[in-house]
Structure 1
């Protein structure tokens, strides 16, 4: 599962985002300044990465005002439950693209250069009089069976991943905030005073 998480994060925010994820993944309410310091990345770049995570709802944050300086410090927590949903959406999108490619392979006739320069639909090949524009060789009808087999294998792999997705889910880390803890304490005090 980690492989899919890392792929999704690199695709979303790049390799720097992966290093932020790896540092943040098992921590709660982690300061953006500590992230910047530990990763030796400029605070603005860290914030940019965190905002990209936030746009996909992959992180939650709390903010506290620094009494000495007067500005807000943000503390971030990675939301593992949301990364699972992101991976699921990406895999469903890949599945849709593969289905479209399979349908196109079934319905469209292709021609290709024997030297593997280009592959074209029959309509495009007719425009070039069935002669390769790269090397001048005559096009041959293309056998789509190997391509179809590869696409079907990819589709099967993604479907297996999606079928087993619930089993392989990463357990969500519960986010504890001081606000929630204070509410529990006040409720206990009220119950004691009623007795």
Structure 2
């Protein structure tokens, strides 16, 4: 009887986790629907999908947030046009955006890891996590890879990437506002290390 109950709890948790991960992968895909904008000749477009990366980490936690991004990228690799501008297929993983896609996974993990370690989820705490993971980590991976793949010197690529910064700060602010609201209205929705359900 105890084994059955324990087994049921484990299956429920796994099913609930899978549903949350799939939901955030879908959110990431939806955030790509408005399309993309390329500014100042940058080979990498501006998209809303970074907001989804931040939210996935902040609300789902490090591991589940990263898995949500990986789920989206697996669907993209299978050929579904789920990235901003209707991009999909294996080609995107060798294009100028490839480093940012890898950075999405690492960024979601870092945002989640930082939020998980906050004793109380606050707007400023989530904002700091979103800026560190969703902006800092994504740029730290994306910019060098973009420079290597495009042949544009790293300092010039970094300067071109400053066009992303105002929008990404706004996305971090939006992530902090949404996450803080979720923490107040439905605190059990935010995941903590070792938390079940």
Q: Same fold (TM over 0.5)?
A: no
Larger radius of gyration: 1
Greater RCO structure (CA 8 Å; 6+ sep): 2
Q: What TM-score comes out, normalization by structure 2 length?
A: 0.27
Per residue, is there more helix in 1 or in 2? 2
Per residue, is there more strand in 1 or in 2? 1
Q: What TM-score comes out, normalization by structure 1 length?
A: 0.27
